[in-house]
Structure 1
């Protein structure tokens, strides 16, 4: 009888959490099984090795990023404003999978780097359609800076006080740059 998908998701969630909290090397199969509350055999039923776990995490990242890109495209305020506003840490599934995947990129996991590059290019393409190619790069760096600083501030604690004022200032700057 096939196992419930809930167990598979619990294992993937545990892997994601361990990557965030302790990094790639400490996110062993044994640690993942323990965190997920399953036996190692139960983990191996769903994910025969660590690379299978990584592959599923990257599929999750792709799925969530594509949903975000579609939201950017249809945002009433425009893709650039949406991108800046959504660059604050909100502990969303997308935030968590990005941070977890970053831990893989840090150890030179090439597939992770390739997927990040593809997502960044897709964001840039959507931003360029909204504000032009030059301003699109500036907007992407604005959003990257907000996100990076949120990670320094302790992402799990939410946005630092005053961060919304930074977003408002960047949105005003975007309006000025648009002319």
Structure 2
């Protein structure tokens, strides 16, 4: 998946069925994605999650513990995403390219949050993003049978994300679903195994 920078929608602190721990992590991810690592203070996270600072510290003793929590959830989200990619009805290449278009989903939100941590020089975050990229690349390579073709598909996905997320009003590259479908068909023809 491309390096996202699009803002995510705020979490609802009182969302039914969400544990306090998940609400805190949602709030931390949202603050990271919407602002920066510096804006995601313990006080701001507690306020966004609708808990006291003491309640936050009960679940996460420090900001580092919050980062660890986000990275743990990301690992689980990534595992689910790769499973969806493997079992996608239209195939992994189509799935990867379609999910390279911003959709404001949970996985995208956590990737944006982790990218903000990486921008603040958190090596754990940088490593998590690199691991995710390697995993997606490995899945694509397994399907197309060629590492360079798999890398090219990843770069196309990155370009799709960039154009959709950063240039939405000026995006003349992928104008509609027909363009997306034609691009996927072209990439699949070019990457088909003999």
Per the normalisation by structure 2, the TM-score is 0.81
Q: Which residue of 1 aligns with 2:10?
A: none
Q: Which residue of 1 aligns with 2:77?
A: 64
- Correspondence 1:35-50 to 2 at 5 A: 35-50=48-63
Q: Which residue of 2 aligns with 1:131?
A: 144
How many Å apart are 1:107 and its aligned residue?
A: 1.1
**Runs of 5+ unmatched residues, structure 2:** 1-16
How many Å apart are 1:5 and its aligned residue?
A: 6.9
Equivalent residues of 2:117, 2:125 under 8 A apart: yes
Q: Which residue of 1 aligns with 2:46?
A: 33
Counterparts of 1:114 and 1:49, CA distance in 2 = 20
Higher relative contact order (CA 8 A, sep 6+): 2
Give the direction of change, closer, same or farther, for the CA distance of 1:74–1:92 in structure 2 (3 Å limit). same
Q: Which residue of 1 aligns with 2:19?
A: 6
Q: Which residue of 2 aligns with 1:140?
A: 154
Q: Which residue of 1 aligns with 2:182?
A: 169
Per the normalisation by structure 1, the TM-score is 0.87
Give the direction of change, closer, same or farther, for the CA distance of 1:166–1:113 in structure 2 (3 Å limit). farther
How many Å apart are 1:153 and its aligned residue?
A: 4.3
Equivalenced residues, count: 171
Give the direction of change, closer, same or farther, for the CA distance of 1:61–1:150 in structure 2 (3 Å limit). farther
Give the direction of change, closer, same or farther, for the CA distance of 1:131–1:17 in structure 2 (3 Å limit). same
Equivalent residues of 2:93, 2:188 under 8 A apart: no
- Correspondence 1:55-94 to 2 at 5 A: 55-94=68-107
1:103 aligns with 2:116: yes
Counterparts of 2:68 and 2:176, CA distance in 1 = 34
Greater helix share, 1 or 2?
1
Equivalent residues of 1:83, 1:143 under 8 A apart: yes
Q: CA RMSD in A?
A: 2.0
Counterparts of 1:161 and 1:126, CA distance in 2 = 25
Counterparts of 2:82 and 2:176, CA distance in 1 = 23
**Runs of 5+ unmatched residues, structure 1:** 155-159
2:130 to 98, 110, 117: 117
